[in-house]
Amino acid sequence: MRTVAVVGSTGSIGTQTLDVVARHPDRFRVIALACGRSEEVIAQARATGAALVGVADADAARVVREALPDVEVVDGEGAATAVAGCGADIVVNGVDGSQGLRPTLAALAAGSRLALANKESLIVGGDLVRATAADRDQIVPVDSEHSALAQCLRGGRAEEVARLVITASGGPFRGRTRAELGAVTVDEALDHPTWDMGPLITINSASLANKALEVIEAHLLFEVPYDRIEVVVHPQSIVHSMVEFVDGATIAKLSPPDMRLPIQLALSWPDRLGHAPARMDWTTAQSLTFEPLDHDTFPMVRLAVQAGRAGGTAPAAYNAANEEAVAAFLDRRLGFLGIADVVAATLGRHEAQPVESLEQVLAAEADARRDARRHIARAG
pLDDT tens digits, 163-217: 999 999 988 888 888 988 988 888 888 886 666 667 888 899 899 999 999 999 9
Residue 273 lies inside a defined structural domain of this protein: no
pLDDT of residue 2: 97
Q: Which of 118, 141, 164 is at the close of a domain?
A: 141
pLDDT of residue 380: 66
Residues 221 and 236 in one domain: yes
DSSP string, 45-57: HHHHT-SEEEESS
Residues 27 and 120 in one domain: yes
The β-bridge partners of 3 are 29
Long-range contacts of 246-252 (CB under 8 A, 24+ apart): 246/160, 246/161, 246/162, 247/160, 248/162, 250/165, 251/152, 251/155, 251/156, 252/148, 252/152
Residue 286 lies inside a defined structural domain of this protein: no
pLDDT of residue 127: 86
Residues in the chain: 380
Q: Which of 76, 110, 141 is at the close of a domain?
A: 141
Torsion of CA 147, 266, 13, 3, to 10 degrees: -170
pLDDT of residue 195: 61
Helix axes 336-349, 358-379, angle to 10 degrees: 130
Residue 280 lies inside a defined structural domain of this protein: no
CATH of the domain at 357: 1.10.1740.10
Residue 76 lies inside a defined structural domain of this protein: yes
Torsion of CA 223, 204, 109, 125, to 10 degrees: 60
pLDDT tens digits for range 328-376: 999 999 999 999 999 999 999 999 999 889 999 999 999 999 999 999 9
pLDDT of residue 96: 84
Distance CA 193, CA 293 (A): 17
Residues 101 and 39 in one domain: yes
- Above 90 in pLDDT, residue 38? no
Q: What is the mean pLDDT of residues 282-292?
A: 94
pLDDT of residue 190: 87
pLDDT of residue 171: 85
Q: What is the mean pLDDT of residues 302-312?
A: 95
Residues 48 and 185 in one domain: no
Residue 257 in contact with residue 10, Cβ under 8 Å?
no
- Above 70 in pLDDT, residue 79? yes
CATH of the domain at 6: 3.40.50.720
- Above 70 in pLDDT, residue 145? yes
pLDDT of residue 37: 81
Distance CA 281, CA 61 (A): 44
Full domain range(s) for residue 249: 146-256+293-379
Cα within 13 Å of Cα(227), Cβ side: 0
Count structural domains, the chain.
2
pLDDT of residue 258: 93
Residues 44 and 192 in one domain: no
Residues 38 and 160 in one domain: no
* Residue-averaged pLDDT of the chain: 93
Q: Is residue 116 classed as helix, strand or coil in its secondary structure? A: strand
Residues 208 and 96 in one domain: no
Q: How confident is the model at residue 136 (pLDDT cuts 50, 70, 90)?
A: confident
Of all residues in the chain, what percent carry a pLDDT higher than 70? Answer: 98
pLDDT of residue 196: 63
pLDDT tens digits for range 85-128: 999 999 999 998 888 999 999 999 999 999 999 988 999 998 89
Residues 67 and 166 in one domain: no
pLDDT of residue 198: 74
pLDDT of residue 121: 92
- Above 90 in pLDDT, residue 135? no
Of all residues in the chain, what percent carry a pLDDT higher than 90? Answer: 82
Q: How confident is the model at residue 150 (pLDDT cuts 50, 70, 90)?
A: very high
- Above 90 in pLDDT, residue 153? yes
Residue 274 lies inside a defined structural domain of this protein: no
Q: What is the mean pLDDT of residues 274-300?
A: 93
Q: Which of 113, 141, 169 is at the close of a domain?
A: 141
Residues 130 and 157 in one domain: no
